[in-house]
Chains A and B, each alone.
Chain A
Amino acid sequence: MSQSIDTFNPFDPTGMFKGIRDSNMDTWSRMMIELVNTNAYAQATGAMLDTWLSNSAPLRKALEAALVQVLANFHLPTRDEVAGLAERLTNIEMRLDDMEGKLDESLRAARETAGSKARSGGKTKSSHGEGQP
């Protein structure tokens, strides 16, 4: 997309950069990909992250402890307590889902039984009118 002299537009602020950009972008991109794929980069970023996490941990824990204390003073549940309640709700959802699964199985078995009875020439009426469980 570089501008030739014929199409040179002095008022396009990006135009001046396009030529330089297009000729150098691929090289720059390859260089950066190579850089982030070096062991030195991996170790440096790993060390930086580790330092930041280690240094911020005491402050974070102090803040959390203070917050728990404040919430307790106001008789409000902490985040862990709310999260625990949500986990219990999910467990109840799972039990309900288990029940739904068993119900699906029972309905299917009942349909198959009714179907086989009908096929064997019996005059048993099927009580299942629904298409899908």
Chain B
Amino acid sequence: MTTAETRLPTGADVLSELQKIYERAKTFKRLLTSDAKVAQTPKTVIWALNKARLYRYAPVVPEEQRHKIPLFLVFAIMNRPHVLDLRPGHSFVEYMLRHGYDVYLLDWGAPGPEDRNLKFDDYTLEYLPRAIRKVKSVSGSDQFNMLGWCLGALISTMYAALRPDDGLKDLVLLTAPLDFTDKTAGGFARWTSTPAFDPDKIVDAFGNVPGEMIDYGAKALKPVENFIRNYMNLWDNLDNPKVVEAWHAMNTWVRDIIPMAGAAYSQLITEFYKENRLMAGTLLLRGERVDLGRLKANVLNVIAEADHITPPCQSEGLMDRIGSQDKEVFRVKGGHIGIMAGSGAEKSTWPHIEKWLAARAD
């Protein structure tokens, strides 16, 4: 016998339900429109150039127990890097600090109209070497380890190939978009390979490519998940504080969109997506050919198996081309962001990266 059959709802039941719905709707709206506290790990700015900032996180382990070689984090150029330090208790930065690493993070900043001519040449050979110089200077170490994520991994890879003797010991690449041989792998490769898609027209219209446009493109790769199910899941779990807290922090990061420098965007689409110059060995940065065979640092290539932004085949091709003796591919179940910021990251991706680095430490 069911509840519906035994008792019909009274007026008080109706009011109570309406009150609950109203409260849930208020919470829902607050979560959608407010910002959670993200990037809370204490840090200091140790270097700045134009919009870029280099942070050093306050170590939590005594100096004698710390790894001597600093860990330098490089995130993508079209998102904020806070996702590496999402919230207290669920932060990759915090995790690595606890394991005795001296952690530095490069925040590229949001480009202004004056930065529309910035290219990967500038990021790789102007900004990154200066930040690395500062990391070495502050840490007192001639060597450093670098972790690059998404376009940060692309920049890190190019740097490692162009400056193989600059002290880079271990290179961790996360969901690195490097090989665009397969034009049907993933929505971005397919969309940008059509002749009608002209990045120069977009840059001509906007200068820098608006963050909203990049955000829409990323979400449109999985429209139902991003535009509908994401919010349905939140509504279903409004009574679960853990889920709500995690969702709010992630949504805060997702909403904090920044533009991408126009020239870099045009270069990304034309020279990487359309012409695949890095893999073809024809990519020139400031006149220097990027030869992946010269990359000799130890490499851990982390691939997200369900990545719709950087499909696995865009990262796998690197391994046969680099000159590194010590190289490993680590496949993780999950998506582009989930493998590092999802609820399972602390049990799978982070420990693997930490152990891989620790095994080669000092």
Contact = CB atoms under 8 A, between A and B. Distances in A.
B202 A53 contact: yes
B80 interface: no
A19 B231 CA distance: 16
Interface in A37-51: 37-39, 42-43, 45-47, 49-50
A11 B13 contact: yes
A104 B133 contact: yes
A50 B198 CA distance: 7
Given A21-B232, A42-B193, A46-B196, A36 B2 contact: no
A37 B308 CA distance: 10
Given A43-B196, A93-B49, A54 B190 contact: no
Interface in B182-225: 184, 186-187, 190-191, 193-198, 201-202, 204-205, 220-225
B225 A11 contact: no
B194 A33 contact: no
Range of interface residues on B (Cβ < 8 Å): 35 or more
B205 A32 contact: no
Contacts of A7: 3
Contacts of A93: 49-50
Contacts of A5: 2, 4
Interface in B159-202: 184, 186-187, 190-191, 193-198, 201-202
Contacts of B17: 9, 11-12
Given A29-B229, A57-B205, A36 B114 contact: no
B4 A8 contact: yes
Contact of B191 (A32, A42, A87): A42
A57 B137 contact: no
B331 interface: no
A94 B118 CA distance: 14
A86 B114 contact: yes
B236 interface: yes
A129 interface: no
A82 B113 CA distance: 9
B14 A29 contact: no
A42 B194 contact: yes
Chain B CB within 10 Å — which of A25, A37, A84, A93 has the most?
A: A37
Interface in B87-128: 112-114, 116-117, 126
A132 interface: yes
Interface in B1-27: 2-4, 9, 13-14, 17-18, 21
B138 interface: yes
Interface string B217-256: 0001111110011001001100000000000000000000
B50 A39 contact: no
A96 B260 CA distance: 26
Contacts of A8: 2-4
Nearest to A5: B2
A60 interface: yes
Interface residues of A, number: 50
Given A8-B4, A57-B204, A97-B49, A49 B196 contact: yes
A36 B220 contact: yes
B294 interface: no
Interface string A90-133: 10011001000100100010000000000000000000000011
Contacts of A94: 49, 126, 130
Contacts of A87: 114, 117
Contact of B194 (A11, A29, A43): A43
Nearest to B140: A132
B221 A36 contact: yes
A90 B261 CA distance: 15
Nearest to A13: B21
B3 A6 contact: yes
A11 B14 contact: yes
B18 A32 contact: no
Nearest to A46: B196
B50 to A, nearest CB: 5
Nearest to A33: B222
Chain A CB within 10 Å — which of B2, B18, B194, B308 has the most?
A: B194
A23 interface: no
Contact of B221 (A12, A13, A33, A79): A33
12 contacts: A1-B236, A6-B3, A25-B224, A29-B222, A29-B224, A37-B184, A42-B194, A46-B197, A54-B201, A57-B205, A86-B112, A97-B49
Given A13-B21, A36-B220, A37-B184, 6 more contacts: A11-B14, A29-B224, A46-B191, A49-B202, A79-B113, A132-B140
